[in-house]
Structure 1
């Protein structure tokens, strides 16, 4: 019989209805498991939610087994216990031989922190009931914090009905929950959205490999995630000696800058005194300037002046066309001595070959370098390469917009280049004209034939919030650097921009 509380007794916090409401209103922090896979925890909103059940699905060769084993060995390295149950005919020795080529595999953990059990024979002779009895015996005995079931499709083929499969999933989840265990279920099939597999689990991670033209691209998508917000869309990933690496989609990751922006009215040099005058005092700190022009117009030469213009500010060249050795030689030919800045570590020259790039991986690497080296001046040479490395050209405008926003928030002054397809054209054909509104300044460069000679000319066609000189200027590239002139070339020039296919 309950004991009545005296009317004059103090009311405890647990008795207060308002207190109970307040507790219900406070968001609960979910316990997470670190996957050990670069980028994946960011996509999942902080890692795998502990005590949850996930389906990892993908065609053969998409990397499901690598992902699961990479998580398993990472968790084991953190002191966790892992039970890996296979419903496949493949012998574990073959699996271990394959895993031995990957850096995360540690054979000393086998039979200790990571235990593999084959349930294929039991499933063949005793059906799913036999597998459930095996799990009922092994899970309480081993008390794993991570359970992997490899071969969910085979289990489904053994089920006589959807109800049988539902019972199997329920039994598996109940036994895992009894020891606070997170479960990963691997399958090579994509089930119907109403299937028991999809409706009963807490998360679904889909791996896919797609052909885009003559190249293939691996992409990951979180199709379902209970209790947590994931980064939406398709995220690129790669498989290498270290295992699986994921690259969160730039537009999702940087939808809001990772750090608050602090606008500045300060100016910084472009690296060329005459250009500073034309721009009304130089470049606004934290601004992005786009140089558009054909090959040979002098875009990279301008970029080298920009890098050398403020030796006290950490600077980075990140490009796709020329190696550091060639850039150093070009700078020397321009009369620019980069050696002191390179030796002091205040200037870095980074080159990435343009073939088979993953744009999201490039952005991740670029931002890491900028943060680690305290970069304040960035010359990004080759926006067209990044555009072509995207899965679709429709991504380029939002991709560039969030990247520029992040660099601006970090106070990095950027000079970047975009190739114009026609050597002697006056109208850039842009697949994504919207990028022109993303950048702060636009300089249009071109080659002009006159009096039997080819002249290099440029004009400033946009600056944000600053006055500028709109005249057409010709310039020369000499052994003393770039020389700017104001010579009349005989006709006016009014640039226009048209939508077109990328070069």
Structure 2
């Protein structure tokens, strides 16, 4: 094969399907024959037509041949509401051909001949055969069926045409057609308990690397949107780790002093605490330090933006003003039927678009609730955290503990402590029939810090930290008690309460 032919064979044909070209590392290969398979309703026809209209918009010509599929009138009716549909492409750039009668009367040989003739006459650069299962049923032997695909391959090479073959999911582990084509894309609609999630997997793709495994996708008004699996997309961070030594203020002066200047820039922290402990309040004070040089983003699951702003006003924070200035944004996603990778991709897109340097994710548990396969959440968070770190983003997660008063602490997400540099625990403690809030700094990677347990209060000025009981024991169990032989010494906030 000549050098020019080799170069031409490696040219890409973009699909125009959001996310799919990312999975395919650039799109289909020119001259390739690709099978799109899946059960009825999986989205094969929408995917193929979306590729066709994008191809036509780039100046290509398309022949779409149907075999015992829906009528062209019904097909147009169903495609018309989708934003990619453009009737002006007919018939100059996109032609629909009903080829079933040709197949029924003349067999596979006649079908190949009519496809060759029409592709040549219309100078088509993309051919779609919708209904390959009908061809298989018409073939007398498996060898005849393989020969049909082989002849299409020869014609694709001769005419410079890329071919898509649409078929129902094959019941065999490997059908004869799979060995002949250059690639296989499988669409599935999986039932997971009471919810369902669509998934695309590239089973085979000759001549190129691609993102392996299943990738969720949605059918929207704009057509199909593929959501590449984050841990596959970001197996390695997109750039080198900047390893910054600067500090980012938490927005709480007393806490900054405990941390010897604030949080390490481009680090990730997690606030563990039960409901009502003030996790969101801590995060809002962190975001109140957002500026033109350090844009902030709140990515939340449980409280709507109006409620967040109302809470901020009650704490004396200027988040609403900062939002109007364009240095802070709030994205809210109720943790209902969300797709995990959709959340991850949207978060990273917002970080890139806004140049975010301060990120507060209020409720990392929301990611876990959105995961169709909960066992992958730690891998997802590892990929997300690594990418945020190299983007220079200082991140705070909150994670809710189920136990309000307990000596046992069970982390809600396995392995999360190893993914973050800094860990803070917010706890309720009971002493002498009174409940107090306590903060403990458990971990700050590669840095010294003040490990003293501190009481804190949530006031109209935000979080206030103070000294704690110097002579109390078992504070972190939630059941504090005075040390034997001493009376509790109260300092700071506790002294104010005793008056």
TM over 0.5: yes
Q: Secondary structure at the match of 1:429?
A: coil
Task: Extract unaligned runs of 5+ from structure 2.
Answer: 479-499
1:193 CA displacement: 4.7
In 2, Cα distance between equivalents of 1:447 and 1:121: 76
Corresponding residue number in structure 2 for 1:492: 474
Task: After TM superposition, give the deviation of residue 426 of structure 1 in Å.
Answer: 4.3
| Count of aligned pairs | 474
What corresponds to 1:8 in structure 2?
Answer: none
CA distance in 2, matches of 1:132, 1:438: 56
Counterpart in 1 of 2:285?
A: 305
Note if contact 2:38-2:188 (Cα within 8 Å) is conserved in structure 1.
yes
Of the structure 1 ranges 134-143 and 150-159, higher mean CA displacement relative to structure 2 is found in 134-143
Pairs within 5 Å for 1:10-21: none
Residue from 320, 331, 356 that aligns with 1:339:
320
> Residue in 2 aligned with 1:405?
386
1:244 aligns to 2:224 (yes or no): yes
Q: CA RMSD in A?
A: 2.0
CA deviation map 1:360-396 (0-9, x unaligned): 1111111111111111100011111101211222211
Deviation sequence 1:446-466 (CA, Å, 0-9, x none): 222333332211211111001
Does structure 2 conserve the Cα–Cα contact (< 8 Å) formed by 1:251 and 1:402? Answer: yes
Q: Is the 8 A contact 2:301 2:366 kept in 1?
A: yes
- What residue in structure 2 maps to residue 414 of structure 1? 395
Q: Which residue of 1 aligns with 2:172?
A: 192
**Structure 2 residue aligned with 1:30:** 10
Measured in 1, the distance between the counterparts of 2:443 and 2:477 equals 11
Structure 1 position 283 matched with structure 2 position 259: no
* One of 329, 339, 350 as aligned partner of 1:358: 339
CA–CA distance in structure 2, aligned partners of residues 44 and 311 of structure 1: 39
CA distance in 2, matches of 1:382, 1:432: 12
118-127 or 256-265, which deviates more: 118-127
Q: Does the alignment pair 1:468 with 2:454?
A: no
Q: Which piece of structure 1 moves more, 256-265 or 32-41?
A: 256-265
2:370 corresponds to 1:389: yes
The secondary structure found in structure 2 opposite 1:430 is: coil
Q: TM-score by structure 1 length?
A: 0.91
2:329 to 343, 348, 352: 348
Q: For 1:242-301, what per-residue CA distance to the aligned partner results, in whole angstroms no more than 9, with x for missing partners?
A: 000001100011111112221111111011011111112210000000001111110000
Stretch deviating more after TM superposition (93-102 or 415-424): 415-424
CA contact (8 A) 1:290 1:417 kept: yes
Deviation at 1:130, TM superposition (A): 2.3
Asked whether 1:56 is paired with 2:36, we answer yes
More moved, 189-198 vs 162-171: 189-198
Alignment equivalent of 2:136, drawn from 149, 156, 172: 156
**Other-structure match for 2:460:** 479
User: Which of 269, 272, 286 is equivalent to 2:249?
Assistant: 269
TM-score (normalizing by structure 2): 0.91
Q: Contact conserved, 2:9 with 2:31, CA < 8 A, in 1?
A: no
CA contact (8 A) 2:339 2:372 kept: no
> What is the CA–CA distance in structure 1 between the aligned matches of 2:473 and 2:345, rounded to whole Å?
45
- State the match for 1:379 in structure 2: 360
Partner of 1:4: none
